[in-house]
Amino acid sequence: MSVVLRNAQRAVPVRRAPLRRAVCALRAALGASRFDVGLVCAGNALMQRLNGAYRHCPEPTDVLSFPFHQVAAGELPRPRCRDEYNLGDIFLGVEYIHQQCRETGETFDDVLTVTAAHGLCHLLGYRHDTKPEWEQMYQKEAQILEELNRLTGSRLRPLTAGLF
């Protein structure tokens, strides 16, 4: 199935092909390569509107995930027809991420990939509202990033290490 990537902002240049390849590999590491994923690279204004509308927090953020299915953490959806082979949509706040990277000195493309991994985990029911949920999600992120690292020779780690 496919990863559809749309760049809906102009503030930050995004290397779409490497990001799409990384998301395909991460999706495979999750055992979900049969499912479509929508990926939108968004600016601060769009992320602020979406974050306000869906999370009642009217400020830009790094990632918002909108699952097509409601599943327990780590479960794959059980589609009944072809149209349901969809994990959902991930909005990456690329302008926000870029600003954070400038402040921390981290590599933008790496952080974008790790943030997409985080968003994919949310599409599969992982959450981080409590410490046990965070530990489960962190473990899954580390696992799929390790698989991506093995395939690409990179050394990516989850960004949520200091959450709890």
Residue by residue, DSSP assigns 107-157 as -HHHHHHHHHHHHHHHHTT---SSHHHHHHHHHHHHHHHHHHHHHH-----
Question: Please, are residues 136 and 163 in contact by the beta-carbon 8 Å criterion?
Answer: no
Instruction: Kindly state the tokens that stand for 83.
Output: 């149209």
CATH number of 3-152: 3.40.390.30
Q: Determine phi and psi for 40, rounding to 5 degrees.
A: -120, 125
Q: Does 45 score more than 90 pLDDT?
A: yes
pLDDT bracket for residue 161 (50, 70, 90): low
Please state the pTM of the whole predicted model.
Answer: 0.95
Residue 54 has what pLDDT?
A: 96
Mean pLDDT of 110-119: 97
Structural domain boundaries in the chain: 3-152
